[in-house]
Amino acid sequence: MRGKVAFIGAADTEVGKLPGRTPMELCAEAALKAIADAGLKKSDVDGLLSCSAMAQPLMYPAEALAEYLQMFPRYCMAVGAGGGTTFSAIHHAASAIVTGMADVIVVAMADSMRSGLTRDQAMQVQASTGHPEFEQPYGPTVPAYYALIAQAHMAEFGTTSEQLAGIAVACREHACLNPAAQMRDPMTVEDVVSSRMIADPLHLLDCSLVSDGGSAVVLCSAERAAELRNDPVYLLGAGEGHTHEHISAAHSLTTSAAKAAGERAYQMAGLGPQDMSFAQLYDCFTPTVLVELEDLGFCAKGEGGAFVDSGALKPGGSLPVNTHGGLLSHSHPGNPGSMFALTESIWQLRHAAGERQVANAQHGLVHAQGGIMSSHTALVLSRDGG
Amino acid sequence: MSEPQMNKLLPPETEVSRPFWDACKQGELQLQQCQSCDRLQFYPRTICSHCGGRELLWRPVSGRGKLASYTIVQRGISRAYEAPYYVVLVDLEEGVRMMSSLVECEPGAAEVGAKVEVLFQDWGEGHVLPVFRLRDE
């Protein structure tokens, strides 16, 4: 699969608070914008992947999107892997192109977690996470699951709340450079650690946003991409790892299947963490970034906190992380959240990211996880098709 | 979506898990043990998740363990859960991990690695759940 598939279109809708706009409307807008960005018409598209929206649950979300847009693909599927949905879908789409199931595939996702759910519905969504029989009765919230990971990392390696906060601050510094980001007010470590405690040791500002928004990309073969535009972004590596669904069944709280996913993606790409110009890491809560930095090989196990302290993650750092602002400061509309990390990576590798452009970006790693550090997918993207 | 949860969430028992819950009502923690490989497993399953063995017998365990991790939820999942409350992962002496609550514990007293022991709490509608408290030694 290495270098055989390329991204030729990318588009986001507005993000944040978009009352009165349904996930379907946002998804359709993103899809059409991405197709236009690729210089194509919707009749050129023969594959469509999407995911279900919590604010508009549908049995067949991809088929419903095709119907809404009056598209008639020969490959059409919804993917469901929580936050990992985005890159699992990309992995599927790339495989479908390589095997000839489709030639031009749109991956489009949207949700309205901010405006489309009542407060009580949102709490119900939270309550439905976790094992129904052996976890949910104890009342864990989504932040609580990730707090268990953070607490374990702190106990094992001496990681501090300030180091976790440093991750949120780095994401905010990137967001300050991104006009599309939902949260652009400057923020300090002190702001994070003095914000309201949600689930020890996670404060409010360790938690990602709740947003409305949609995003889409267009993929095709590398040969076709070269005919269509002069700056395709190539998929050099893809890898997944799956170890559990429920956190109580995880074999380790501080090492995740991001390690296996990363190793598989790097191996396919023939590149390593040292080759990455930036990384977009799944940041629903700050401790996920900490564990992912280690598991994806950017620093040694247990040294994530010190790596954050070094300033590496910030704009101009040795490994800028979440250059659009991430789920923590750009937006988090639920399962589609990582789509924005992908479109951002495409713009970075086209050298079209404006004020936040990572100088001379060549290769980038994007990673997402779903469940509670359960399903991981890592992708290596490049300007160079190899 | 249903109405806001006014009662605590109750475990949906199955035929396979019922002996676990019945034992809790008797004040005893029991786990499945595989008769082929001797391993204990949690949560209950129709097969041994290690060797695939199908003969699983219920065995009482000590109810003692250590905190693998913990958090204090400051905003409850529903009005039925009065915050702050602990959500913990317990590693039992017999080698399995389970999620639970820590009770009779002031905020600040718990730490990863702390020794705990099981007790049983009425969860409503006849359900009894295993919870844990810190154990002196």
pLDDT, one tens digit per residue, over A294-353 is 999 999 999 999 999 999 999 999 999 999 999 999 999 998 999 999 999 999 999 999
In a domain, A86, yes or no: yes
Q: Do B74 and A139 touch (CB under 8 A)?
A: no
* pLDDT at residue B93 tops 50: yes
Where among A198, A228, A258 does a domain terminate? A228
Q: Do A133 and B11 touch (CB under 8 A)?
A: yes
In the 8-state DSSP scheme, what is residue A359? T
- SS3 of B93, please? coil
How far is A191 from A187, CA to CA, in rounded Å? 6
Do B87 and B101 contact (CB within 8 A), yes or no? yes
Q: Quick one: A76 and A162 in the same domain? A: no
> What is the interface pTM, i.e. ipTM, of the complex?
0.96
* pLDDT at residue B65 tops 50: yes
* pLDDT at residue B2 tops 60: no
- Phi first, then psi, for residue A350 (nearest 5°) are -85, -5
How far is A185 from A356, CA to CA, in rounded Å? 16
Residue found by looking up tokens 């052996």 in the block: A134
What is the per-residue pLDDT across A52-88, written as a single tens digit (0 to 9) for each?
Answer: 999 998 999 999 999 999 999 999 999 987 888 899 9
Contacts of residue A147 in chain B, CB cutoff 8 Å? 71
Pick the CATH number of B62-137 from 3.40.50, 2.40.50, 3.40.5, 1.10.287: 2.40.50
- How much is the average pLDDT of A170-194? 98
Chain B residues whose C-beta sits inside 8 Å of any chain A C-beta: 1-5, 8-14, 17, 42-43, 68-78, 81, 85, 87, 89, 97-101, 107, 111-113, 123, 127, 129
CA distance A142 to chain B (A): 9
Q: Quick one: A182 and A216 in the same domain? A: no
Contacts of residue A254 in chain B, CB cutoff 8 Å? none
What is the span of the domain harbouring residue A80?
Answer: 5-117+211-228
Q: Quick one: A191 and A338 in the same domain? A: yes
The enclosing domain of A95 has a CATH number of 3.40.47.10
**Cα A118 from chain centroid (whole Å):** 24
pLDDT at A332: 96
CA distance B82 to chain A (A): 10
In the 8-state DSSP scheme, what is residue A364? E
- How much is the average pLDDT of B110-130? 97
How far is A197 from A206, CA to CA, in rounded Å? 9
Residue found by looking up tokens 């693998």 in the block: B68
Where among A172, A194, A228 does a domain terminate? A228
In a domain, A90, yes or no: yes
Do A278 and A308 contact (CB within 8 A), yes or no? no
- Phi first, then psi, for residue A49 (nearest 5°) are -120, 140
Tally of domains within chain A:
2
- On the 0-12 / 13-18 / 19+ scale of CB atoms within 10 A, A355 is exposed
- Phi first, then psi, for residue B84 (nearest 5°) are -80, 150
Residue B68: which residues within 8 A CB-CB, separation 6 or more?
Answer: A152, A253, B88, B89, B90, B91, B97, B112
Closest to A167 (Cα-Cα) out of A192, A201, A198: A192
Q: Do B99 and A124 touch (CB under 8 A)?
A: no
Residue B92 bridge partners (DSSP): B65
Residue found by looking up tokens 């977690």 in the block: A113
Q: Quick one: A215 and A251 in the same domain? A: no
Q: Which residue in chain A is spatially nearest to B121 when comparing CA positions? A: A138
Identify which of B69, B76, B85 has the shortest CB distance to residue A148: B69
**Amino acid, res. B58:** W
Do A297 and A173 contact (CB within 8 A), yes or no? no
- Label the pairing between strands B127-134 and B85-92: unpaired
How far is A173 from A216, CA to CA, in rounded Å? 25
Instruction: Give the max Cα distance, chain B.
Output: 47
Q: Quick one: A180 and A274 in the same domain? A: yes
pLDDT at A8: 98
Do A297 and A266 contact (CB within 8 A), yes or no? yes
Q: Do B78 and A123 touch (CB under 8 A)?
A: yes
What is the per-residue pLDDT across A110-149, written as a single tens digit (0 to 9) for each?
Answer: 999 999 998 777 777 877 789 999 999 999 999 999 999 9
pTM of the model: 0.96
CA distance A135 to chain B (A): 6
In a domain, A130, yes or no: no
C-alpha R_g of chain A: 19
pLDDT at A283: 98
Q: Do A139 and B73 touch (CB under 8 A)?
A: yes
Q: Quick one: A173 and A285 in the same domain? A: yes
Q: Quick one: A75 and A157 in the same domain? A: no
In a domain, A124, yes or no: no
Do B8 and B123 contact (CB within 8 A), yes or no? yes
- Label the pairing between strands A104-112 and A47-50: parallel
* pLDDT at residue B3 tops 50: no
pLDDT at A263: 98
Quickly count: other Cβ atoms within 10 Å of residue A375's Cβ: 25
Identify which of B8, B17, B43 has the shortest CB distance to residue A137: B8
Domain boundaries, chain B: 16-61, 62-137
How far is A379 from A239, CA to CA, in rounded Å? 7
pLDDT at A128: 77
Q: Quick one: A220 and A197 in the same domain? A: no
Taking the alpha carbons of A350, A351, A354, A359 in that order, is the dihedral positive or negative? Answer: positive
**Cα B10 from chain centroid (whole Å):** 13
Q: Do B43 and A126 touch (CB under 8 A)?
A: no
Q: Quick one: A74 and A164 in the same domain? A: no
Q: Quick one: A164 and A306 in the same domain? A: yes
Per-position DSSP letters for B95-125, written without gaps between them: S-EEEE-B-S--TT---TT-EEEEEEEEEET
Q: Quick one: A93 and A185 in the same domain? A: no
Tally C-beta pairs within 8 A across A and B: 121
Q: Do B11 and A247 touch (CB under 8 A)?
A: no
**Amino acid, res. B84:** P
How far is A109 from A56, CA to CA, in rounded Å? 12
Where among A174, A194, A228 does a domain terminate? A228
In a domain, A134, yes or no: no
The reply to whether omega before A201 is within 30° of 0 (cis) is yes
In a domain, A311, yes or no: yes
How far is A93 from A99, CA to CA, in rounded Å? 10
pLDDT at B107: 78
CA distance A299 to chain B (A): 24
Is residue B126 left, alpha or beta, with left meaning phi > 0 and alpha meaning psi from -120 to 50?
left
Q: Do B74 and A135 touch (CB under 8 A)?
A: no
Hey, what are A215's tokens? 């995003």
Residue found by looking up tokens 């992380």 in the block: A321
Q: Quick one: A150 and A206 in the same domain? A: yes
- B4 falls in which pLDDT band (50, 70, 90)? very low
In a domain, A135, yes or no: no
pLDDT at B106: 84
